[in-house]
């Protein structure tokens, strides 16, 4: 068995780990959105301000903190952190796997 086949296993293994990580982080992100929507302040409109903030800031978790209760504000800070981790994982992993795949098949 040559070094090329061992490196191919490494490339496929890293790609698999990256894809599984994306699925896990997407699930965490969906749960964060659910927590935010379950912790709206009493009387906060669900349709107007949240969807406008979503379209303006390109993310549902960037809603106005005034629309959330105290628990929702705490979840919002966690959701922002988890979203940044998810995007860093997506872009960093994409670059890493693309470089490995380029190196393997050139």
Q: What is the pTM of this model?
A: 0.75
What is the residue range of 90's domain?
3-104
Residue-by-residue DSSP string for the chain:
--HHHHHHHHHHHHHHHHHHHHHHHHHHHHHHHHHHHHTBPTT--SSHHHHHHHHHHSSGGG--GGGB-HHHHHHHHHHHHHHHHHHHHHHHHHHHHHHHHHHHT-
Count how many domains the chain has: 1
Query: pLDDT (tens digit, 0 to 9) for every residue of the chain, 106 residues total?
Result: 555 566 678 778 888 999 999 999 999 988 988 898 888 888 877 665 555 555 455 565 667 788 889 998 899 889 889 988 998 999 998 898 888 778 777 7
């Amino acid at each position: 068995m040559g070094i090329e086949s061992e490196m191919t296993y490494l490339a496929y293994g890293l790609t698999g780990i990256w894809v599984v990580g994306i699925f896990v982080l997407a699930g965490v992100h969906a749960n964060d959105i659910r927590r935010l929507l379950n912790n709206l302040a009493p009387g906060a409109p669900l349709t107007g301000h949240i969807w406008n903030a979503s379209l303006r800031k390109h993310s549902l978790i960037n809603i106005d903190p005034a629309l959330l209760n105290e628990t929702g504000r705490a979840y919002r800070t966690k959701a922002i952190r988890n979203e940044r981790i998810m995007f860093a994982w997506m872009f960093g992993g994409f670059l890493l796997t693309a470089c490995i795949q380029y190196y393997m098949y050139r």
